[in-house]
Amino acid sequence: MSTPTPMLLLRASELTGRPVVTLGGELVAEIKDVVFDRTGGRIAGFTLRNPGLFSRSRKDSLPWSGVHGVGRDAVMVADEAVLIPAKELAPRKQAHKANVLEDRVLTDKGRDLGRVVDVVLHSGRSLDVVGYEVQASEALGTAGRRVFIPLPNTMAVSGENLIVPAAATEFVSEDLAGFGAAVEAFRSRLREGTDDAL
């Protein structure tokens, strides 16, 4: 029996400034911001800026569907044809809603776990949101420290609050390196609960 491959995790903030490069090696742009699909728990895409010290925001953006791969040093695209107008990825009126930083994380029982300081992504076939790095509240017993809270495959949003199942508190981690195992254990627990209900 083979051992499962550990999740490759990274913080969304680590993507900021990463170059966008074509498969032919041409530098196209740099990642400015990550745009989240709050309701789907996925990355919608990226806003861009021109490369360089005094770079400016670009009027085009990179949708997730246009990403060929995310490497340690760059985001790969087939060519510049995958870029779309920025307003199509995140219309101005909706752009602020796409940002989850500073949102409160609450359990489905109303317990305040803290505020989001970063988003944890799983870099696999897609770039999925698997957890939040939060400035913990007193409810977690680690008030003021940064901890990682796993997310289910789908997440709920209520106004400016992000809702997680109460069981997530059993899988809180203080270490990103071991957080992948916590995410998998948490999601396995949720699946078992669903199976028991059938």
What is the model's pLDDT at position 41? Answer: 63
Of 37-41, 70-74, 102-106, 174-178, the one with minimum mean pLDDT is 37-41
On the question of pLDDT at 26 being above 90, the answer is yes
Q: Which long-range CB contacts under 8 A does 43-50 form with residues at least 24 apart?
A: 43/12, 43/121, 43/126, 43/127, 43/128, 43/129, 44/89, 44/90, 44/98, 45/89, 45/90, 46/15, 46/20, 46/75, 47/86, 47/89, 47/90, 48/20, 48/83, 48/86
What would the pLDDT profile of 125-146 be if each residue is shown by its tens digit?
667 788 999 999 998 888 789 9
Domain ranges for the chain = 9-98, 104-197
On the question of pLDDT at 97 being above 60, the answer is no
Is the pTM here over 0.95, yes or no?
A: no
**Domain 9-98 has what CATH class?**
mainly beta
What is the model's pLDDT at position 198? Answer: 37
